[in-house]
Chain A
Amino acid sequence: MKRFPFAALSICLALLTAGIAPQASAQEVKIVAHPDISRSTLSRDEIRQIFLGRKTQWDDGNQRVHFVVLKEGDTHETFVRQFVGKTPSQFSNYWKKMIFTGKGRAPQSFATPEDVVALVAETAGAVGYVPPETDTPGVKIISITAQ
């Protein structure tokens, strides 16, 4: 009888892991940045740190990173899964935790890729992501490196 909770917990965890996770879209994304940013490449880890608010300054330490996100959709889901390592709801929860503990402000979010491009083009230090087919006037395309 004393073992029951362990057995029950194991069954619960097995049930939990048996769930079928929605598959991430195979669609890739394009990382865009303000043209004045000196970097032309970012590693996957740097992108993750930026969008989790842990990398807040560009390399010279004088310019603040201003990242923007899409509100929802396939591109947003693909990006947060592949580059941030979270589902959209986990990404949203992460930022709620930052907001409700006073550690950060909610990321600026936009409904359309065109709005993301426009904001990034006019904001110093800005970086964002858009679908690969998006026209990107006035911004720099950032190459992604493994490390």
Chain B
Amino acid sequence: MAQRGIIICFFIITALTNAAHAFELSPLGIDIHAFVSQGFLVSDDNSFLSADTEDGTFQFNEIGINFNKQLTENLHVGLQFLARDQGMIGNNDVEIDWAYGDYRWRDWLGLRAGIMRLPLGLYNETRDLDFLRSSILLPQSVYNENLRDFFSRLRGVGLYGDIPLKAAGALGYQAMVGTVDIDSDGGVARSSESSGMVEFIEADVGTVYNGSLQWYTPIEGLRAGVTYFYNSDTETEIQMTIPMGPGMPTEITAIDEQDEFQVYVLSAEYTWEHLVVAAEYMEMNRESHVQGFPMAFELDPVGYYLGGSYRFTDWFELGSYYSIYYADEDDKDGDDLEAMGRPDFRAWLKDFAVTTRFDFNDNWILKLEGHMMDGAALVMAQENLDGFEENWFLLAAKATFYF
């Protein structure tokens, strides 16, 4: 079924490749845009992103197609299908990426309802749109691919608007409430299972609250923002793979109850001519317990990065970032992990990336990117049964067609 869907998507996109710009279904007035990306990942150690990167993998692609129509002066509807593959995740299953109605009553107040991309940091809404940025991989300190199920999209309602502040610039806001879907084969599930203690069965996510404030400052090209994500009432059915206590059997099914899960991201981006510099800081807190068992867990990851890009010509752009992620802000040097017999460098991931982007024309781009990694946080155990290395290198390449 998934393969049939992906073939249909390919067929539609291929049929439209003569269109160098938006394809419009006249007289219906429906705009159609699409993109196809194919990437390659290879690392010298530590298979990454749920993919077998140590052997090199082409299981790294996205395909999307969207349809937009303005129904009335203030009402706009649209829908995007997305299929992606990232190693063990995605497998090119076609899913609805976003589909919502958007009623803009005034500039300062609009209403959206449906499935919407979720703002978290500067680039989460566009994380699958490779052609909108310099790098192939967003800094994992803030845009953790393992948790994308939680942060990709929200099914619910939202308010948004833009408020001019005269001499103080302008303010853009979004506020959403709804829920998210967690794939039992996705990154969240695989992250849970990476501990080796549990098998993820399914998650019932409760209400998610999400908000974003973007301040377009009076300083030309400078914007700053804060985004926030909150969820508390999520229950995850898990199966224990180790005994819960002396003499107790394994394979007990239990419910992991999330008491609190919140994330905030502080962001700043400065654009001057062809130069873009961005910095972001993320803090996350997750507290949970297992029903009926004296087990409580708390995770406090923190991450930040500084990056920049410069477009030298119409066809060439160079970018770089340095990203730091700590799995637990109270154990940045990994002493607690070491005391448990695990490598201390699993406590952090420091990623120095250099990326090049080549725009062959308005529809085709190619990117090449190197990542010098220090640490193995965010690296899953399932793909690294022979252990982890502290210092490693990841090479990424990606070609994208879009219109």
Q: A83: shortest Cβ distance to chain B, in Å?
A: 11
Whether A56 and B104, one on each chain, are in contact in the complex, defined by CB atoms closer than 8 angstroms, is yes
Give Cα distance in the complex from A38 to B79, angstroms.
Answer: 36
Whether A12 and B320, one on each chain, are in contact in the complex, defined by CB atoms closer than 8 angstroms, is yes
Known A-B contacts A12-B308, A106-B22; A100 and B132 likewise in contact (beta carbons under 8 Å): yes
Q: For the side of the interface on B, what is the size category?
A: 35 or more
Q: Does A132 contact B (CB under 8 A)?
A: no
What number of residue pairs across chains A and B have CB atoms under 8 A from each other?
119
Q: Does B53 contact A (CB under 8 A)?
A: no
Q: Which of A47-67 contact B (CB under 8 A)?
A: 49, 54-57, 61, 64
Known A-B contacts A6-B322, A45-B164; A99 and B107 likewise in contact (beta carbons under 8 Å): no
Whether B35 and A100, one on each chain, are in contact in the complex, defined by CB atoms closer than 8 angstroms, is yes
Residue from A16, A22, A89, A101 in contact with B275 in the complex, judged by beta carbons closer than 8 Å: A16
Q: Which residues of A contact B80 (CB under 8 A)?
A: 100, 102
Give Cα distance in the complex from A5 to B321, angstroms.
Answer: 9
Q: B303: shortest Cβ distance to chain A, in Å?
A: 15
Q: Which residues of A contact B311 (CB under 8 A)?
A: 87, 89
Q: Which residues of A contact B221 (CB under 8 A)?
A: 85
Whether B100 and A102, one on each chain, are in contact in the complex, defined by CB atoms closer than 8 angstroms, is yes
Whether A102 and B273, one on each chain, are in contact in the complex, defined by CB atoms closer than 8 angstroms, is no
Give Cα distance in the complex from A64 to B76, angstroms.
Answer: 13
Binds A, one of B66-74, B240-248, B379-387: B66-74
Q: Does A15 contact B (CB under 8 A)?
A: yes
Whether A101 and B273, one on each chain, are in contact in the complex, defined by CB atoms closer than 8 angstroms, is no
Known A-B contacts A16-B318, A57-B106; A105 and B275 likewise in contact (beta carbons under 8 Å): no
Known A-B contacts A54-B162, A100-B66, A102-B78; A87 and B273 likewise in contact (beta carbons under 8 Å): yes
Whether A13 and B126, one on each chain, are in contact in the complex, defined by CB atoms closer than 8 angstroms, is no
- Chain A 85-101 against B: per-residue CB contact (8 Å), 1 yes, 0 no? 11101100100110111
Whether A64 and B64, one on each chain, are in contact in the complex, defined by CB atoms closer than 8 angstroms, is no
Q: Which residues of A contact B21 (CB under 8 A)?
A: 106
